[in-house]
Amino acid sequence: MFKLWSRGIRFQMIVIVSVLLLVSVLFMTADMLFYSKADDVLIKDLEKKITGTVQSLSKQMTEQLSTQILLEGEPGQNLPSALEKSFKDIARNHAENYKGVRLGIYIVNQDQIFIEGFLHDFRPPGGEGEKQREQRIYQETSAGIKAVVSGGIPITKLGQTWDDQFIEYLAPIHLNSKLVAVVWAEERVHPIFAQNARTRYILRLVILITFCFGIGATLLSTISLVKRVNKIKDGLANMEKDFSNTLPEMTGDMGQITNAINKMASGLKEKEALSEQLRISQNLASLGRLVTDIAHELRNPICILQCTADLLEPKVKHNPELNECVFMFQEQLKRLNLLTEELLDFGRPMPIKRGTLDLRILLESLIETIIPLLQKNEITLNFSNPENLPNIIGNKEKLKQVFLNLFFNAIQAMPKAGVLTIQTFAKEKLICVVVNDTGEGISQEDQSKIFQPFFTRKTDGNGLGLAICKKIIEYHGGSITVESQPGVFTTFTVCFPIN
């Protein structure tokens, strides 16, 4: 078998089925070619015996009748009775010496036969009479008789009924080159051989059908097994790429296997997600510390620059050129200050102070503050804020910061008019706020990055706004997602768990 078990299941099955097939075919061929020859030998033997008997019978009759003709002249009208007498004399002798052989004579143009001897030793009591028997045998033999009469040569016939087989030899008797009668002998092949042959035939048929059926069923089930195994194989390859690619549903044992694998994969996926989350939060925490340190280190140089600029400012008031320089200083210092504030905000641990909040009131107050900006940019506001929304628990100032950030981003994305849609709704155990703008949109590639710290496409941004928003939202147990089609729209959805 060498390395058979390390080969594919399809190959293994083909080898096994082929071996089975080969062995069976060899045995059946041997059986057909050699073992059934036993019957033929027996039949040959019987044939020889009855051929000999008939030849001897016909020879003796021909000699007897020829002698009669020599002594008494042409028999003429008496030929049939001479034939009958001669047959009975000689055949009886043969039948008595040779049990189980039946001899018969048909006298041409007489439409009558005579029989000596019996095929069976056993005869039922009250059986058919002599005439009836002769009639029956005549019917059975008539085909052979006709053949010999018309052909003029002897024939051998192998007859068969359901459970019996017999052999016949028919030969013509010529007198003066004229066919005058047909004599024959017949003998049963022992019934056990006939039955054996039949049984063997049926057995072979049954074995063949069963075998074909077995091979067919094996092949079908193998093909189906191979298909399922291949499905699992392909499924596992897909799963390797991504644990969310589950294996297809299956029935039976394979179904149990795929279910177990799917269960394992979803467990691994969960674990992977958790460790990814842990990794991200660890990264964020260390990033937070780094950012805080940097911001703290920046405060002294900024302070020195700020004080220097402040010192310079009154002194250059009357020199427009220098005054402009100081103004630029001050502007950039403001920016640096804002950046360090935001960096600290990002790195700072969240406040512990939280209370029950009505998002509706919070949003309304925020929208009031942005209305002048909306008017300036010719932005239409579409604000739907249903009452009776459940409260959430959170830090009011931090959440204000989140929504202001989202509103400002939306406004910045629509410098030349547009529609800002703000909607709130409750969904299952969440309360969600959707902020949609008809601005420039965000490319698919950028959508996955916009919540990362320091990622920005704005020329004057520091890339911290959305990172801080996400941090605050996640601190509240919520989530923020983005959906956008560049040039068409951008939608941010913020959801918080209901108190």
DSSP one-letter string for 342-380: HHHHHHSPPPS--EEE-HHHHHHHHHHHHHHHHHHTTEE
Q: How many helices (H) and strands (E) does the chain have?
A: 11, 12
d(CA 86, CA 95): 14
d(CA 328, CA 309): 10
Stretch that binds another protein, among 48-56, 139-147, 165-173, 332-340 (CB under 8 A): 332-340
The verdict on 371 binding another protein (CB under 8 A) reads: no
Stretch that binds another protein, among 165-173, 184-192, 296-304, 491-499 (CB under 8 A): 296-304
From candidates 42, 333, 362, 381, binder to another protein by CB under 8 A = 333
188 and 120 in contact (C-beta within 8 Å)?
Answer: yes
Stretch that binds another protein, among 132-140, 153-161, 305-313, 392-400 (CB under 8 A): 305-313
The verdict on 341 binding another protein (CB under 8 A) reads: yes
- Contacts with 480 (C-beta within 8 Å, 6 or more apart), sequence order: 451, 466, 469, 470, 473, 492, 493, 494, 495
**Smallest gap, in angstroms, from Cβ of residue 297 to another protein?**
10
The verdict on 99 binding another protein (CB under 8 A) reads: no
203 and 160 in contact (C-beta within 8 Å)?
Answer: no
111: left (phi over 0), alpha (psi -120 to 50) or beta: left
d(CA 22, CA 304): 98
Q: Walk across the sheet containing 112-116 and list its strands.
A: 112-116, 101-107, 178-189, 165-175, 155-160
Give 274 or 294: the residue with its C-beta nearer to another protein: 294
The verdict on 300 binding another protein (CB under 8 A) reads: yes
d(CA 105, CA 82): 12
From candidates 206, 208, 304, 373, binder to another protein by CB under 8 A = 304
287 and 279 in contact (C-beta within 8 Å)?
Answer: no
Give 134 or 345: the residue with its C-beta nearer to another protein: 345
Considering only CA atoms, which of 337, 354, 322 is closest in space to residue 477?
354
The verdict on 308 binding another protein (CB under 8 A) reads: yes
The verdict on 301 binding another protein (CB under 8 A) reads: yes
Other C-beta atoms lying within 10 Å of the C-beta of residue 374: 18
The verdict on 261 binding another protein (CB under 8 A) reads: no
**Smallest gap, in angstroms, from Cβ of residue 337 to another protein?**
6
Other C-beta atoms lying within 10 Å of the C-beta of residue 95: 19
167 and 50 in contact (C-beta within 8 Å)?
Answer: yes
Q: Tell me the number of residues near another protein by CB under 8 A.
A: 19
The verdict on 349 binding another protein (CB under 8 A) reads: no
Give 64 or 306: the residue with its C-beta nearer to another protein: 306
The verdict on 307 binding another protein (CB under 8 A) reads: yes
From candidates 229, 344, 426, 430, binder to another protein by CB under 8 A = 344
The verdict on 332 binding another protein (CB under 8 A) reads: no
**Smallest gap, in angstroms, from Cβ of residue 468 to another protein?**
15
Stretch that binds another protein, among 333-341, 360-368, 376-384, 454-462 (CB under 8 A): 333-341
Give 188 or 471: the residue with its C-beta nearer to another protein: 471
Looking only at the bridges linking them, the beta strands covering 430-437 and 418-427 are: antiparallel
**Smallest gap, in angstroms, from Cβ of residue 370 to another protein?**
25
The verdict on 337 binding another protein (CB under 8 A) reads: yes
The verdict on 457 binding another protein (CB under 8 A) reads: no
The verdict on 340 binding another protein (CB under 8 A) reads: yes
169 and 64 in contact (C-beta within 8 Å)?
Answer: no
The verdict on 462 binding another protein (CB under 8 A) reads: no
Kindly list the distances between the CA atom of residue 294 and the CA atoms of 297, 307, 344, 460, 465, in Å, as whole numbers in the listed order: 5, 20, 9, 20, 18
Q: What residues are paired with 101 via a beta bridge?
A: 187
Stretch that binds another protein, among 45-53, 205-213, 303-311, 368-376 (CB under 8 A): 303-311
From candidates 128, 310, 331, 364, binder to another protein by CB under 8 A = 310
Stretch that binds another protein, among 12-20, 84-92, 263-271, 336-344 (CB under 8 A): 336-344
Q: Which residues bind another protein (CB under 8 A)?
A: 295-296, 299-308, 310-311, 333, 337, 340-341, 344
